[in-house]
Structure 1
Amino acid sequence: MGDPVSEARRRIVIAITGATGADIGIKLLQTLRRLNVETHVIISKWAGETIKWETDYTVSAVRALADHAYSPHDLAAPISSGSYHIDGMIVAPCSMRTLAAINAGICDDLITRAADVCLKERRRLVLAVRETPFSEIHLRNMLGVTSAGAIVAPPVVGFYTRPSSVEQVIEQMTGRLLDLFGLDAKDFVRWEGMRKES
């Protein structure tokens, strides 16, 4: 008889914060559903406003894309405990406030608590930070979370793919984020080297 944890569906927490780029978190939820990965979503208060401003989705429609959805105030949620097994967490987009709170170990909402659990349990934590340019404070916070075991992965455009739409850009970004979990989204262009001129 196998290990029940390893035989279960993979579980990934998706947190969407108030930084610009809500479509990234939405695309992650859609892709993980297609890959049959169990998803747990947390949408911050300001992420809710960003979703309404930047997308055609309602907050309830985004919550419905996940297997489980939580209020950011629900510190009694299963994902707030290290004894509840998950494979990891992606914060996309990750605001500078959320980055700073995770780096400081401030667990004042479910997003920062779930991220803290990932770090203490040595589970994968990926932060798709959205800001430009970065201040020294931002860079120190990124170095701090990286030293603690997180992966800082800003959603950067892969221009070699020659994207012709925002959708293609988002597919590339989400595909790269899921690669960090060993998940192949199979819907973005991978670098195959320079083509030689004939």
Structure 2
Amino acid sequence: MKKIAVAITGASGSIYAKLVLEALTQLKDQVSELSVVMTDNARLVWQTELGNEQYETFDAKYFSTKDFMAPFASGSAQYDALIIVPCSMGTLGRIASGISNDLITRAADVMLKERKKLICVIRDTPYNLVHIRNMETVTLSGGIICPASPSFYSLPQSIEEAVRTVTNRVVDLVGLTNRSYRWGQKNLPED
């Protein structure tokens, strides 16, 4: 059983956050705690991109970006992973610089100092040299940069299926058993 926090920033790509949250709630037999923190801009982007306000309907505990009393703001809570999806380049830059000015960047700092999983699902494109250096810094500090770049060898038939190629990879990176397409397989594994 894992304790997982999901942070949603205002970068474009709300569908990635939605599908990660759906996957984690479906894997509740492997997740003992699921916590969510979301920026105000993330709410606006979600409403714009997905046309709804369903971001607080998942079976999770919700926290404000200003709530430094949230359990995952401290290593003593023993959270196993923080997934930042989508991760804006501003958030990535603050993490790379060690600036813990809100719950998201503080939780990222905690994951790095505790040597736990920090997964940053970046969606911006193209990258400038500052972005690349920030990705390098976070990677060298123990974080995982997982670009929101879908794969196509599973022959996705919709945008959602293409996005799932990334979100399934994120679930794998957290260390959960995940039923998804694997390279070399013709079909999904049976239940």
TM-based fold match above 0.5: yes
Which amino acid in 2 is paired with 1:179?
D
Q: Distance in 2 between matches of 1:177 and 1:57?
A: 24
Give the CA deviation at 1:129: 0.8
Q: Deviations over 1:108-142 (max 9, x none)?
A: 00000001000001101000111111000000000
Q: Distance in 1 between matches of 2:145 and 2:59?
A: 23
Q: Is the 8 A contact 1:17 1:43 kept in 2?
A: yes
Name the SS for the 1:156 alignment partner. coil
Name the counterpart of 1:56: 51
Could you tell me the TM-score, scaled by structure 2's length?
0.91
Q: Is the 8 A contact 2:43 2:55 kept in 1?
A: no
Q: Distance in 2 between matches of 1:44 and 1:33?
A: 21
Which amino acid in 1 is paired with 2:4?
I
Structure 2 runs not aligned, ≥5 long = 187-191
Q: Distance in 1 between matches of 2:99 and 2:59?
A: 26
Pairwise CA RMSD of aligned residues? Answer: 1.4
Structure 1 consecutive aligned stretches of length 4 or more whose deviation exceeds 4 Å: none
Give the CA deviation at 1:63: 2.1
Of 37, 42, 52, the match for 1:42: 37
Name the SS for the 2:160 alignment partner. helix
Q: Distance in 2 between matches of 1:32 and 1:180?
A: 12
Q: Is the 8 A contact 1:175 1:184 kept in 2?
A: no
Identical-pair percentage: 39
Is the aligned partner of 1:156 residue 2:149? Answer: yes
Q: Distance in 2 between matches of 1:101 and 1:185?
A: 31
Give the CA deviation at 1:193: 7.3
Aligned length: 183
Is the aligned partner of 1:95 residue 2:88? Answer: yes
Give the CA deviation at 1:41: 0.4
Give the CA deviation at 1:56: 3.2
Is the aligned partner of 1:115 residue 2:117? Answer: no
Worse overlay, 77-86 or 115-124: 77-86
Name the counterpart of 1:85: 78
Q: Deviations over 1:8-50 (max 9, x none)?
A: x311110110111111111111111111122100111110110
Name the counterpart of 2:2: 10
Which amino acid in 2 is paired with 1:177?
V
Is the aligned partner of 1:176 residue 2:169? Answer: yes
Name the SS for the 1:189 alignment partner. coil
Name the counterpart of 2:189: none
Name the counterpart of 1:4: none
Name the counterpart of 1:127: 120
